């Protein structure tokens, strides 16, 4: 492991210097922020009620009561937990928003991503509804001590503006930093009263976030204090993630959503009714949503991340939900091999990603993310067809995957290999490991190991975090952690099969680190929605995942690694992790319509992506109107991730997924 981080904690841990400060009251509002802070205000009673909580946490309920005879205006309430130490060494961890300060964005000044590096005057404070796991942590990169406040999120009573929430974050001090909970004020990147609202620009104004206290009014804020030390087995953030799962128990809510058979029937029906292409030029699954592109007659097969055509075909072959599914999978996968096979680049292994039927030409040179995911699903299709009596002939698939994996390995093993800047290439690790096992190609495993070692050295610290896993964000993001997690699990399973104890210990630790990082983007609570499409649908956010520190919306991409999450739950004997799998699968189907169609970019916060009803929004709109909406555009990967995850879990023998195909066929069919 990286000596500068993991070996650090073998030494005696530094003592934790942290304390909950007496309540401070903000009075007045000036220049976009609190005018002054006071420790005491006549007529305002403040009480803290503490009690022990499971896991060694301390529960605190802070109560404010205004006993004055007239309203008290322009008030800001606060909780402040102070941790002393070298400010630059106290790394903030705010799930989904500020991952150790978002170090990959250091030096950028475009404002699209919040940053914090412990410099004088820095702060990073955000609305609680932005936090998937509602906690804020400071972790000492030098000594390993950490302190966190877990909060019970809520809107603010007495707020003067609509949809005003408590806020949470960090503020730098000369001798350390404070974790703060405030009754509304927010800001980041040295700009006060600024809300993170759009992906490609500075945020929008979000000021006047004070409250009015009425005579006799009481306000309470519930939070939990967690302290401890990082160890060689777990960073502080990992212990924070575990505590958040224990506090909110998200896995217990799965039963309120549609069942797995219902979801598979709807998704399979949508895929074959709306996306199936069958004409003289070939067959496959159309990447273009017909509701948006029907008038243009767009028809194209796209492989990998945003296309997902080949992953859906693998799933059709395994799940076999209706008559003709395997025949379609056979024909379409054969077409992919015939059409895309000649585009595989020698000494690189990437290939063209899109074949346009209307224009009769290829588009898009392959990237590591899409080519890695496409290769992985096709390898699994080969494996399934060769070990099951299912009437499939994988000869062409085998030739395509073997040749592609070999060329990828050749490219990665070159002495002048260009090391990737982001986590995206980690999506190559798992398919290369699988190819090495299926085809006895040691060069593939050597290439996978080279990538795994590279990412271990780069990402298991505080100064560079999994980032740039896909085109969604050039910053700290969920997909970068997922890429590493998928790869490390493949390496771990290979080590177990090879009886290599040292490699097993190494990749077990790496897999847990990447898994916990990606789980920090998991929403563990139901975020109340303002009036809008999500409230109209009764949307429940528990089980969804935030995209990134840049793109503050929810999506279903995390379905991609549900099989690895289940496997790790079994390995660790952790029923919580296993329980998250059906929750995430079933919760992510909520917004599907009667045809099984559902959109992406769920706006749980006052953030708007670049699209609005299929048009670029530019500078239009107001951040107050963004929260509670979503984009109905349905990329095919949304359906592919559902079906592919179900196929993987079925092959693994997970009960909730093994019975689905039989239940559907015997109950009412799917044709």
Position 6 pLDDT exceeds 70: no
**pLDDT category of residue 632 using cuts at 50, 70 and 90:** confident
Position 327 pLDDT exceeds 90: yes
From the centroid of its chain, how far is CA 667?
35
**pLDDT category of residue 108 using cuts at 50, 70 and 90:** confident
Burial (CB < 10 A; 0-12, 13-18, 19+), residue 367, is middle
Per the CB < 8 A criterion, the answer to whether 112 and 201 are in contact is yes
**pLDDT category of residue 599 using cuts at 50, 70 and 90:** confident
Residue 437, phi then psi, degrees to nearest 5:
-80, -40
Weakest mean pLDDT among 145-149, 456-460, 481-485: 456-460
**pLDDT category of residue 213 using cuts at 50, 70 and 90:** very high
**What does the pLDDT look like over 46-104, one tens digit per residue?**
999 999 999 999 999 999 999 999 999 999 999 999 999 999 999 999 999 999 999 99
Nearest to 46, CA basis, from 19, 31, 29, 26 = 26
Measured distance CA(206)–CA(78) in Å, rounded: 18
Average pLDDT over residues 7-25: 70
Measured distance CA(335)–CA(53) in Å, rounded: 58
Task: Give the torsion sign (CA, 343, 348, 349, 353).
Answer: negative
Position 612 pLDDT exceeds 60: no
Average pLDDT over residues 230-241: 94
Measured distance CA(531)–CA(508) in Å, rounded: 45
Position 667 pLDDT exceeds 80: no
**What does the pLDDT look like over 98-107, one tens digit per residue?**
999 999 988 8
Provide the pairing of β-strand 194-195 with 600-602: unpaired
**pLDDT category of residue 266 using cuts at 50, 70 and 90:** very high
State in words which class domain 7-248 has: mainly beta
Average pLDDT over residues 207-214: 97
Position 631 pLDDT exceeds 90: no
Q: Which two tokens stand for residue 476?
A: 């700290």
Average pLDDT over residues 270-287: 91
Q: Which residues pair with 220 in a beta bridge?
A: 63
Comparison of pLDDT for 633 and 442, the residue scoring more = 442
Comparison of pLDDT for 12 and 498, the residue scoring more = 498
Q: Which residues pair with 124 in a beta bridge?
A: 170, 188
Threshold 0.85, pTM exceeds: yes
What does the mean pLDDT of the chain come to?
A: 91
Per the CB < 8 A criterion, the answer to whether 71 and 214 are in contact is yes
What architecture is domain 254-470+477-667?
Alpha/alpha barrel (1.50)
Instruction: Give me the percent of the chain exceeding a pLDDT of 70.
Output: 93
**pLDDT category of residue 11 using cuts at 50, 70 and 90:** very low
Position 311 pLDDT exceeds 60: yes
Q: Which residues pair with 148 in a beta bridge?
A: 137, 226
Average pLDDT over residues 495-518: 98
Residue 185, phi then psi, degrees to nearest 5:
-60, 140
Domain boundaries defined on the chain: 7-248, 254-470+477-667
Position 1 pLDDT exceeds 50: no
Comparison of pLDDT for 460 and 243, the residue scoring more = 243
- CB neighbour list of residue 440: distance below 8 Å, 6 or more residues apart: none
Measured distance CA(640)–CA(267) in Å, rounded: 9
**pLDDT category of residue 470 using cuts at 50, 70 and 90:** confident
Instruction: Give me the percent of the chain exceeding a pLDDT of 90.
Output: 79
Task: Give the torsion sign (CA, 277, 282, 288, 293).
Answer: negative
Average pLDDT over residues 428-444: 98
H/E stretch holding 535 reads: helix 533-536
**What does the pLDDT look like over 376-415, one tens digit per residue?**
999 999 999 999 889 999 999 999 999 999 999 999 999 9
Per the CB < 8 A criterion, the answer to whether 51 and 73 are in contact is no
For helices 260-274 and 660-667, the axis angle rounded to 10 degrees is 70
Per the CB < 8 A criterion, the answer to whether 546 and 478 are in contact is yes
């Amino acid at each position: 492991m990286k000596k500068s981080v993991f070996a650090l904690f073998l030494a005696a841990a530094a003592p934790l210097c942290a304390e909950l400060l007496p309540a401070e009251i903000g009075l007045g509002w000036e220049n976009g922020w609190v005018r002054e802070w006071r420790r005491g205000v006549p007529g305002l009673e403040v009480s803290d009620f503490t009690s022990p909580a499971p896991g060694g946490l301390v529960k605190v309920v802070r109560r404010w009561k205004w006993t004055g005879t007239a309203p008290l205006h322009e008030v800001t309430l606060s909780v402040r937990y102070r941790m002393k130490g070298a400010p630059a060494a106290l790394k903030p961890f705010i799930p989904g928003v500020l991952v150790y300060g978002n170090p990959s964005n250091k030096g950028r000044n475009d404002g699209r991503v919040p940053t914090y590096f412990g410099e004088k005057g820095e702060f990073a404070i955000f609305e609680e509804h932005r936090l998937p796991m509602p906690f804020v942590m400071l972790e000492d990169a030098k000594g390993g001590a950490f302190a966190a406040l877990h909060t019970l999120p809520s809107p603010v009573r007495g707020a003067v503006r609509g949809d005003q929430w408590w806020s949470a974050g960090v503020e730098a001090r000369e001798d350390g930093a404070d974790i703060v909970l405030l009754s509304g004020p927010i800001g980041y990147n040295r700009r006060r009263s600024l809300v993170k609202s759009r992906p490609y620009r500075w945020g929008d104004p979000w000021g006047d976030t004070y409250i009015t206290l009425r005579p006799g009014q009481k306000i309470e804020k519930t939070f939990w204090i967690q302290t401890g030390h990082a160890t060689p087995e777990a960073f502080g953030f990992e212990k924070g993630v575990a505590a958040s799962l224990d506090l909110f128990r998200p896995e217990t809510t799965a039963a309120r959503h549609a069942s797995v058979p219902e979801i598979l029937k709807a998704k399979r029906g949508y895929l074959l009714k709306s996306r199936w292409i069958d004409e003289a030029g070939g067959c496959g699954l159309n990447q273009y949503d017909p509701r948006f592109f029907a008038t243009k007659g767009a028809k194209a097969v796209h492989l990998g991340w945003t296309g997902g055509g080949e992953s859906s075909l693998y799933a059709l072959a395994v799940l076999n939900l209706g008559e003709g599914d395997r025949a379609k999978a056979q024909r379409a996968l054969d077409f992919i091999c015939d059409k895309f096979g000649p585009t595989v680049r020698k000494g690189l292994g990437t290939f063209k990603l899109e074949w346009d039927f209307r224009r009769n030409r290829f588009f898009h040179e392959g990237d590591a993310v899409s080519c890695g995911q496409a290769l992985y699903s096709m390898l699994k299709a080969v494996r399934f067809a060769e070990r099951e009596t299912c009437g499939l002939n994988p000869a062409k698939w085998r030739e395509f995957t073997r040749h592609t994996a070999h060329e990828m390995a050749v490219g990665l093993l070159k002495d002048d290999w260009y090391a990737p800047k982001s986590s995206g290439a980690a999506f190559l690790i798992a398919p290369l490991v699988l190819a090495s096992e299926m085809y006895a190609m040691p060069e593939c495993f050597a290439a996978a190991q080279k990538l795994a070692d590279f990412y271990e050295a780069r990402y298991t610290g505080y100064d560079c975090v999994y980032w740039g896993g896909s085109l969604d964000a050039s910053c700290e993001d969920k997909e970068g952690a997922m890429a590493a997690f998928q790869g490390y699990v493949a390496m771990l399973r290979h080590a177990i099969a090879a009886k290599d104890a040292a490699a097993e210990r190494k990749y077990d630790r790496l897999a847990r680190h990447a898994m916990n990082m990606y789980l920090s983007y998991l929403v563990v609570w139901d975020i109340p929605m303002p009036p809008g499409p999500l409230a109209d649908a009764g949307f429940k956010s528990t089980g969804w995942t935030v995209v990134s520190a840049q793109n503050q919306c929810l999506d279903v991409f995390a379905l991609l690694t549900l099989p690895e999450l289940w496997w790790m739950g079994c390995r660790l004997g952790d029923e919580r992790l296993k329980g998250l799998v059906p929750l995430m699968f079933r919760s992510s189907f909520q917004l599907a319509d009667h045809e099984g169609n559902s959109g992406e970019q769920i706006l749980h916060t006052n953030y708007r992506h670049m699209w609005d009803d299929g048009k670029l929004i530019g500078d239009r709109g107001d951040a107050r109107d963004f929260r509670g909406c979503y984009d109905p555009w349905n990329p095919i990967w949304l359906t592919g991730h559902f079906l592919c995850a179900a196929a993987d879990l079925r092959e693994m023998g997970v009960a909730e997924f093994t019975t689905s195909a039989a239940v559907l066929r015997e109950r009412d069919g799917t044709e």
